Amino acid sequence: MFNKSLEDVTEEDLQALIDVKTETQKIERKTVEYKQCLSPSEDKSDCSENTLNRSRDKIEFLADVSSFANTVGGYLLYGVEADAGLPIKLVGVKIDADKQKQQMENLLRDNIEPRLPYVDIQVVPLRSKPGYSVIILHIRQSWLGPHRVNREGHAHFYVRNSNGKNQLDIAQIRAAFELSGSIADRIRNFRAERLGRIIAGDELPAILDEGAPKLVLHMIPSSAFNPAVSIDMKVFNDYSNWDLMRPLAVWDLQPPTSTRFNLDGIARSVQWTRNAAEPVAAPSGYVQIFRNGIVEAVDITILSVNGNKKQFLGEVFELRLLQAVKKHMELQQFLGVEPPVFIMVSLLGVRGYKIDRGGYPSNYTEEIDRTNLIIPEVILDTFDAGNDHIAEVMRPVFDTTWNTANYPSSPNYDEGGKYLRGWN
């Protein structure tokens, strides 16, 4: 069952967990937990009250979910009777599926600090027991923690082992924070090292114009520096997969590209003929796929399409980044990368540039006040994101960029935070 998408899980898959007894199930309590009821009675047998309405049930739910996120991730199933950690019967819970999912999502959003990456919640109706369902939560391992349950005076950290969840002591909490900090530092150090190479033109997949301003996108999975993570580059022997490596570019139509394997993994570069006088097209950007799932995209066309004029179109800048994030999200999902992913945008060599707000005649911001804009990272917590979610995640990046040109925020969002432009 755990090898398929939750939305494809059926009652037959759940029954197979019970029918197929294996030795491995005995040690799965670290990654799987079965619960008969949402809110059991004192004797643990009456599930007539199938909602998380008692304070202790809500805290228990939050502790279970956060313990998975603080360890290696896993699955929490409601509506399955278990004995000594092994599933023995599908009993189901009687719920309003939409309301129950909403309640769980609200509890997780409001009572776990820092906020958890995306938790997938799926309700599987039982045909053998009409009106009853099994609720499955898939909780991914989080690199943003440790996460703490903080509700009604209950403030604790939890992890899991083969015996179930446990509360962390002070020494364990300190160690968890040190590990989380070291991962964040490695991600930021990688970005700094790569930006230094891009500025210096040092051993890059394509030799770019040193004088041109550069737009740089990094998408770094939280698992990138796990030694066990390595992408098999042989999947790119099939050139039909190359479209997933689509470079950033100002044009709607894809310019000529070239692809080659290299020491870091595989790269796809794009060529740009600026005018008819140039005998040979020059590289204008590239996408580098690293063996640990990191994506690096660099472009000089979006910020310099207006030639020597120090200006770029704000709407095009945002649109191309949104499209690139979506395409490279699909690439990382294809490669088996797990979210969350740190998204980092940098603008290099842009001091004195203005942002064109659009309209006729052109309406410009003031000049950008820094040579290099190293925009703080944002986090994409799921690969099941639609356009609205991606635009929501990217809004702080865009707002910050406009701020550097003395403009209060991106003009391409409404007051409710919805992106105003259609894109795909």
Q: What is the pLDDT of residues 384-410, one digit of tens each?
A: 778 998 999 999 999 999 999 999 999
What pLDDT was estimated at residue 290?
96
- Residue that finishes a domain, picked among 168, 192, 225: 168
Q: Is 424 a member of any domain?
A: no
Tell whether the model's pLDDT for residue 227 goes beyond 80. Answer: no
Q: Is 411 a member of any domain?
A: no
Do 297 and 378 belong to one domain? yes
Q: Is 205 a member of any domain?
A: yes
- The secondary structure of 282-341, three-state, reads EEEEEEEEECCCCEEEEECCCCCCCCCCCEEEHHHHHHHHHHHHHHHHHHHHHCCCCCCE
Structural domain boundaries, residue 40:
6-168
Q: Is 86 a member of any domain?
A: yes
Do 226 and 371 belong to one domain? yes
Q: What is the mean pLDDT of residues 245-254?
A: 84
What pLDDT was estimated at residue 322?
96
Do 188 and 236 belong to one domain? yes
Do 164 and 182 belong to one domain? no
CA–CA separation, 1 and 122 (whole Å):
13
Do 160 and 245 belong to one domain? no
What pLDDT was estimated at residue 172?
76
CA–CA separation, 321 and 249 (whole Å):
10
Tell whether the model's pLDDT for residue 292 goes beyond 80. Answer: yes
Tell whether the model's pLDDT for residue 246 goes beyond 90. Answer: no
Q: What is the mean pLDDT of residues 362-377?
A: 92
Do 194 and 131 belong to one domain? no
The domain that contains 41 carries what CATH number? 3.30.950.30
Do 246 and 223 belong to one domain? yes
What pLDDT was estimated at residue 44?
53
Q: Is 121 a member of any domain?
A: yes
How many domains are there within the chain? 2
What pLDDT was estimated at residue 21?
60
Query: Which residue would you say has higher pLDDT here, 249 or 173?
Result: 249
Tell whether the model's pLDDT for residue 254 goes beyond 80. Answer: no
pLDDT band at 171 (very low <50, low <70, confident <90, very high): confident
Do 238 and 376 belong to one domain? yes
Q: How far is CA 37 from the centre of its chain?
A: 31
Do 154 and 190 belong to one domain? no
Q: Is 288 a member of any domain?
A: yes
- The secondary structure of the chain, three-state, reads CCCCCHHHCCHHHHHHHHHCCCHHHHHHHHCEEEECCCCCCCCCCCCCCCCCCCHHHHHHHHHHHHHHHCCCCEEEEECEEEECCEEEEECCECCCHHHHHHHHHHHHHHHEECCCCCEEEEEEECCCCCCCEEEEEEECCCCCCCCEEEECCEEEEEEEECCEEEECCHHHHHHHHHHHHHHHHHHHHHHHHHHHHHHHCCCCCCCCCCCCCEEEEEEEECCCCCCCCCCCHHHHHCHHHHHHHCCCCCCCCCCCEEEEECCCEEEEEEEECCCCCCCCCEEEEEEEEECCCCEEEEECCCCCCCCCCCEEEHHHHHHHHHHHHHHHHHHHHHCCCCCCEEEEEEEECCCCCEEECCCCCCCECCCCCCCEEECCCEEECCCCCCHHHHHHHHHHHHHHHHHCCCCCCCCCECCCCCECCCCC
Q: Is 413 a member of any domain?
A: no
Q: Is 382 a member of any domain?
A: yes
- Residue that finishes a domain, picked among 168, 187, 211: 168
pLDDT band at 29 (very low <50, low <70, confident <90, very high): low
What pLDDT was estimated at residue 86?
83
Q: What is the mean pLDDT of residues 124-149?
A: 87
What pLDDT was estimated at residue 274?
56
- Residue that finishes a domain, picked among 143, 168, 193: 168
Q: What is the mean pLDDT of residues 142-168?
A: 84
Q: What is the pLDDT of residues 16-28, one digit of tens each?
A: 888 876 544 554 5
Do 61 and 97 belong to one domain? yes
CA–CA separation, 86 and 21 (whole Å):
9
Do 118 and 192 belong to one domain? no
Q: What is the mean pLDDT of residues 167-186?
A: 76
Do 133 and 215 belong to one domain? no
Q: What is the pLDDT of residues 54-97, one digit of tens each?
A: 888 899 999 999 999 888 788 999 999 888 778 888 988 888 88
Tell whether the model's pLDDT for residue 116 goes beyond 90. Answer: no
What pLDDT was estimated at residue 334?
92
Tell whether the model's pLDDT for residue 52 goes beyond 90. Answer: no
